[in-house]
Amino acid sequence: MKGILSRLRQTALLMVGQSSYEAYLAHLRTHHPEREPMSRIDFFRDREKARYGTGGGRCC
Amino acid sequence: MRDSGLKHLPWIVLAILALSALSFVAGSRGEPINALWIVVAAAGSFLVAYRYYALFIGRKVMQLDPARATPAVYRADGLDYVATDKRVLFGHHFAAIAGAGPLVGPVLAAQMGYLPGTLWIIAGVMLGGAVQDFMILFISMRRDGRSLGELVRMEIGRTAGTIALIGAFLIMVIILAVLALIVVRALAESPWGTFTVAATVPLAILMGIYTRWIRPGRIGEVSLLGFVGLILAIVFGQSVAASPFWGPLLTFTPVQLCWILIAYGAIASMLPVWLLLAPRDYLSTFLKIGAIVALAIGIVIMAPPLQMPPLTKFISGGGPVWSGALFPFLFITIACGAVSGFHALISSGTTPKLIANESDAPLIGYGAMLMEAFVAIMALVGASILDPGLYFAMNSPAAVVGTDPQSAAAAVTAMGFPVSADTLVQAARDVGEHTIVSRTGGAPTLAVAMAEIFSHVIGGAAMKAFWYHFAILFEALFILTAVDAGTRAGRFMLQDLIGLGIPAFRDTTSLVPGLVATLLCVGAWGFFLYQGVTDPLGGVNTLWPVFGISNQMLAAIALMLATAVLFRMKRERYAWVTAIPTAWLLICTITAGSLKIFSADPAVSFLAHARRFSAAAAEGQVLAPAKSMKEMERIIFNDWVDLGLCALFLLIVLSLLFFTIRSCLAARRSDTPLVREAPRQEVAPA
């Protein structure tokens, strides 16, 4: 049940361009441990810009 | 052996069920049938198609390789390239492809009865639309997640890539114009609707401020607050509309709304994204998904009978909603939901960068499109549960049915769909509107149908007006988001294209090129919007077919790319998978485009129409609906612009056909595959 809810939450967030912050942190920890990761809020803004800056991919 | 036979058994049962439902739908005459028959026929067919055809394409045609790393794996950066759970990605992809298109096209197509639209959606998606989305996703996934323009350039050639980009930009312009037109038609003379939709602007700005400074990044929270605001706006809108002061102040003519939308598009697309675009996108996305789910549940609970006949006399042409006969015009009227070229841009957008494993591609590429087709089926059901008299009174241009209930009832009854003026007056009163006569564009019709279904489940007749305005708001909300986002996307496409000649234009950070490109883009769709709004036939009549032709043309381009890629992979024995839908789309778009230019019928052809008006103008006559010589000149000018556009579309599609054939022939001559995929890398050597 908890799995389903968290997946639904993730789906809803990805629909508006927000990929998982946890996945981002995990990626940085394993692949670039020397880099300082963005804060949760900076990550949110970065993803917001990535999605909407060029119009945001969506259909008619 | 016995095991493998047994596992097919449930699917065979399902296939038989779907086929019997389908033959029941197709064979019924007289007695109204229940909408659930269509739902069962569609759902069953889609499941079987997914289980067998999608898997066949994945295994044999594409030879998907679960051991081959996807861009999300070998390029992983935690930002744009992220391996994502396939169910999560399915939702993302579906939300990106499903918009107003699959809701509007089927409603308009209902003028020919429910049968042609149903059959085309089911067959079109299984053999065309879903194949296209799936193939483009596959092609992009094997090439670092590149975009359609780049893919065409890589596999067919540089010139072909540029032509495809020009086509994509033109389609964008037409889509924006036609979507804005739908909003204009839905909100004209409706103070309640106008108030609720206008209220979303300050509401979204408040939400933007909230996510920027008060509680940054709390999307769920702010969306919930926004949703409460929306409901309040709908409830409050009724009193605002009834107020003797605010009511008239918020009652706009179509032309006024047209200018408001153009100004809105120009301003909104230049604001920072967090202020208006992002927060409204939260609302429109979640509301869209919620409304689609609610509609599906509502249809199943209500199980309404279909009032519309399976076929109407308009299959041979002469229908009031849009001109032309079943072939080819039905197949371009329902684009989204059956085959939508625009999806090629989405399937080569963010999705291929997020897909975790090649074996997820059938669910995302083929499956999400089946889901969109299901949305289209629901829209078609919605339009068909209404009294046909009401449907035609709402969807016929004012030039045909007049503007008052008496004239509309008389005109629609004369068409062979008896309806009384009282019924039309009562239907308008039920949904809290002054009038529902000639509310073209599909959105109001769908809103009436949704009000019918939702009020059956929750609230009864008393809630009808609320649900109607809820449905209008839901459609207008995501159309306005699309207008804003589309103008931005169009601006970048234009900067890219102009940049081919003037390199300085490529700079997306400097102010002047951005401003010029934005204004050019708004000016372009604004021109077609204004033309549609002032068109005596209601605009939808003219613009929707042009939109359909352009969208199907893009689909043909995408499928031609897929065919070329199969040849270049040396898998041409499977090229029929993409070549058959390509051929069908080429036949439809080229026939429709040529008829729009060369047909002798002025209702269909821009050229015949322009000639008739020019001849009259030369003799000093003013033809209805023009009221002055100046209006005559404008009609003639518009005809020539539309004609030029159709000719340009034909030119684009024919030149790409030429380049594709050349590319396929070159591939046949070569002994080795010519495809340019990214080098194969094994999935993590653990």
Facing residue for A46 by CB, picked from B79, B482, B492: B79
* Cα–Cα distance for residue pair B140/B147, rounded to 1 Å: 7
Closest CA in chain B for residue A44: B217
Cross-chain residue pair A14–B179, CB shorter than 8 Å: no
Closest CA in chain A for residue B179: A60
- CB-count exposure of residue B325 (10 Å: 0-12, 13-18, 19+): middle
Distance from CA of B641 to the nearest CA of A (A): 23
* Chain A residues within 8 A of B285 when measuring between CB atoms: 15-16
Distance from CA of A5 to the nearest CA of B (A): 11
Mutation target among B80, B170, B219 for the A interface, most CBs of A within 10 A: B219
Distance from CA of B149 to the nearest CA of A (A): 15
Looking at the DSSP bridge assignments, the partners of residue B355 are: B84
Closest CA in chain A for residue B171: A60
Using alpha carbons, select from B198, B195, B102, B42 the residue that is nearest to residue B443: B102
Facing residue for B278 by CB, picked from A11, A13, A52: A52
* Chain A residues within 8 A of B274 when measuring between CB atoms: 45, 48, 52
- State in Å, rounded, how far the first CA of chain B is from the last one: 35
The answer to whether B80 and B355 have CB atoms below 8 angstroms apart is no
pLDDT band with cut points at 50, 70 and 90 for residue A56:
low
Cross-chain residue pair A59–B273, CB shorter than 8 Å: no
Cross-chain residue pair A60–B487, CB shorter than 8 Å: no
Q: Is B179 helix (H, G, I), strand (E, B) or coil?
A: helix
Tokens representing B535 are 């068109």
* Chain A residues within 8 A of B179 when measuring between CB atoms: 60
Cross-chain residue pair A59–B485, CB shorter than 8 Å: no
The answer to whether B656 and B560 have CB atoms below 8 angstroms apart is yes
Distance from CA of A34 to the nearest CA of B (A): 14
Q: Tell me the Cα Rg of chain A.
A: 14
- Give the CA distances from residue B608 to residues B193, B316, B534, B595, B597, in Å, rounded to whole numbers and listed in that order: 38, 19, 20, 10, 8
Distance from CA of A24 to the nearest CA of B (A): 4
pLDDT in tens, B545-564: 999 999 999 999 999 999 99
Show which of residues 1-60 on chain A sit within 8 Å of chain B, judged by CB atoms: 7, 9-20, 23-28, 31, 40-41, 44-60
Distance from CA of B37 to the nearest CA of A (A): 28
Chunked mean pLDDT (size 10), chain B, 686 residues: 78 95 87 94 97 97 97 95 97 94 95 97 98 98 96 96 93 93 94 96 97 94 97 96 95 96 94 94 94 96 96 95 94 96 94 97 98 98 97 94 96 97 97 94 96 95 96 92 91 91 86 93 96 84 90 96 98 97 97 95 93 94 86 89 94 97 96 94 76
B597: which residues sit within 8 A by CB, 6+ positions away?
B605, B606, B607, B643, B646, B647, B650
- What pLDDT does B478 receive? 85
Using alpha carbons, select from A7, A4, A37, A40 the residue that is nearest to residue A21: A40
Facing residue for A60 by CB, picked from B79, B99, B274: B99
Distance from CA of A52 to the nearest CA of B (A): 6
Conformational region of residue B468, where left means phi above 0, alpha means psi within -120 to 50, and beta covers everything else:
alpha
Closest CA in chain B for residue A7: B88
Cross-chain residue pair A60–B350, CB shorter than 8 Å: no
- What pLDDT does B685 receive? 59
Mutation target among A7, A8, A59 for the B interface, most CBs of B within 10 A: A59
Cross-chain residue pair A60–B179, CB shorter than 8 Å: yes
* Chain A residues within 8 A of B342 when measuring between CB atoms: 59-60
Tokens representing B447 are 């809103």
Supply φ then ψ for residue B419, to 5 degrees: -155, 145
* Chain A residues within 8 A of B551 when measuring between CB atoms: 60
* Chain A residues within 8 A of B488 when measuring between CB atoms: 52-56
Which string of b and e fits B440-449 if b means at least 16 CB within 10 Å? bbbbbbbbbb
User: How many interchain CB pairs under 8 A, A with B?
Assistant: 129
Q: Side-chain half-sphere of B195: how many Cα atoms within 13 Å?
A: 24
Conformational region of residue B476, where left means phi above 0, alpha means psi within -120 to 50, and beta covers everything else:
alpha
- 3-state SS of B445-467 is HHHHHHHHHHHHHCCHHHHHHHH
Facing residue for A59 by CB, picked from B87, B101, B285: B101
Would the pTM of this model clear 0.80, i.e. be above it?
Answer: yes
Facing residue for A59 by CB, picked from B89, B346, B492: B346
Q: Is B355 helix (H, G, I), strand (E, B) or coil?
A: strand
DSSP annotation of B70 reads: P
Cross-chain residue pair B488–A49, CB shorter than 8 Å: no
* Cα–Cα distance for residue pair B413/B424, rounded to 1 Å: 12
Cross-chain residue pair A52–B489, CB shorter than 8 Å: no
Question: Cis omega before residue B625 (within 30°)?
Answer: yes
Chain-centroid distance of CA B137 in Å reads 19
- What pLDDT does B384 receive? 97
Conformational region of residue B381, where left means phi above 0, alpha means psi within -120 to 50, and beta covers everything else:
alpha
Cross-chain residue pair A60–B482, CB shorter than 8 Å: yes
Mutation target among B178, B273, B293, B543 for the A interface, most CBs of A within 10 A: B273
Using alpha carbons, select from B619, B640, B641, B623 the residue that is nearest to residue B632: B623
* Cα–Cα distance for residue pair B457/B96, rounded to 1 Å: 29
Residue whose pair of structure tokens reads 């036939």 in the numeric block: B537
Chain-centroid distance of CA B333 in Å reads 10
* Chain B residues within 8 A of A44 when measuring between CB atoms: 216-217
Facing residue for B78 by CB, picked from A12, A28, A40: A28
Cross-chain residue pair B482–A19, CB shorter than 8 Å: no
* Cα–Cα distance for residue pair B659/B489, rounded to 1 Å: 27
Facing residue for B485 by CB, picked from A19, A44, A56: A56
The answer to whether B455 and B464 have CB atoms below 8 angstroms apart is yes
Sign of CA dihedral B184, B186, B192, B197: negative
Amino acid identity for residue B516 in this structure: V
